[in-house]
Amino acid sequence: MKAVVLSTLLFATFFAQQASSAPNPVKGEELFKQCSSCHAIGEGASHTVGPTLNHVFGRIAGKADGYTIYSDAMRAKGEDEQLLWDEKSLYIFLAGPARYIPGTIMGFEGLRKEQEIKDLLAYLISFSPAYEPESSSVVSAEAIATVSLPVLKEEEEEETPTFDEEYLANAEAITIGGELWAKQCRHCHGNSAYPGKAPKLTPARYKPEFVFNRVTDGFRKMPAWKSVFTLEERKAIVAYVQSNQFSP
């Protein structure tokens, strides 16, 4: 399975929304890995086991052009009941596909948590750019023809960068890293963080490459930041953590 990163636009939304439990498309992207064995999405995606989920919001169920193996149950939902995929119907469907559409051939149990479904829908809706959120209206083929879809990039293999003395002393990097630390790391690792949430960092014991790899790939309960921060940002965090200015 290919890991994918989404455009920076979504990450901006992510930062804006992080404080609350507002639907989080970045988490949704992560959850979509449960779907991507059967559904492709993004510019150039085609039908695989399941129909592509591009432009699924505003589409009548069972009506993706060129997907020919819908179940009778799914077809009937569309043709007889005119079921439209919108925020509400997708929510109910993803909570229990076979409960909502008995006879569907979608082999997926459903997502249990409300927040997960919302996060996933926040991700999916970005691939339905012609759909007006909350409108519950059918999107025409003409409207679809006027919009472009987000492009998914394949995640590039990345080597651990080397950190020389000069970079580690770079004042600008340290400042940027310090700001990111305050926003994204302190609430878990800081002195005032809830005890036991995360270990207090002991930078004197770390090599910069270790910090970089932890930040990039995460480890157990430590989240991975690779798809959230650019390479430069992750390097800057390392410079900050390893600097004299580090103040948790």
Give the footprint of ligand HEC on this chain (CB under 6 A): 34-35, 37-39, 49-51, 53, 56, 61-62, 64, 70-71, 73-74, 85, 90, 94, 104-108, 120, 184-185, 188-189, 198-199, 201-202, 211, 214-215, 219-223, 225, 237, 241
Q: Which is nearer to ligand HEC, 172 or 221 (CB)?
A: 221
Alpha carbon of 50 to those of 71, 176, 183, 185: distances in Å? 11, 43, 39, 39
Nearer to ligand HEC, 13 or 71 (CB): 71
C-beta of 104: minimal distance to ligand HEC in Å? Answer: 4
By beta-carbon proximity to ligand HEC, the closer residue of 143 and 201 is 201
Q: Nearest distance from residue 65's CB to ligand HEC, in Å?
A: 10
Whichever of 92 and 143 has its CB closer to ligand HEC, that residue is 92
- By beta-carbon proximity to ligand HEC, the closer residue of 153 and 183 is 183
165: left (phi over 0), alpha (psi -120 to 50) or beta: alpha
Burial 186-219 (b: 16+ CB within 10 A, else e): beebbeeeeeeeeeebebeeeebeebbebbbeee
Q: How far is the CB of 198 from ligand HEC (least distance, A)?
A: 3
**Residue 139: CB minimum distance to ligand HEC, A:** 13
Residue 60 has phi, psi (to 5 degrees) of -75, 140
Nearest to 13 by CA among 1, 3, 22: 22
Question: Contact, 55 vs 143, CB < 8 A?
Answer: no
To ligand HEC, the closest distance from the beta carbon of 215 in angstroms equals 5
Least distance CB 152 / ligand HEC (angstroms): 15
**176-177-179 Cα angle (round to 5):** 65
Closer residue to ligand HEC, CB minimum distance, 107 or 133: 107
Task: Report the distance separating Cα 28 and Cα 11, nearest Å.
Answer: 12
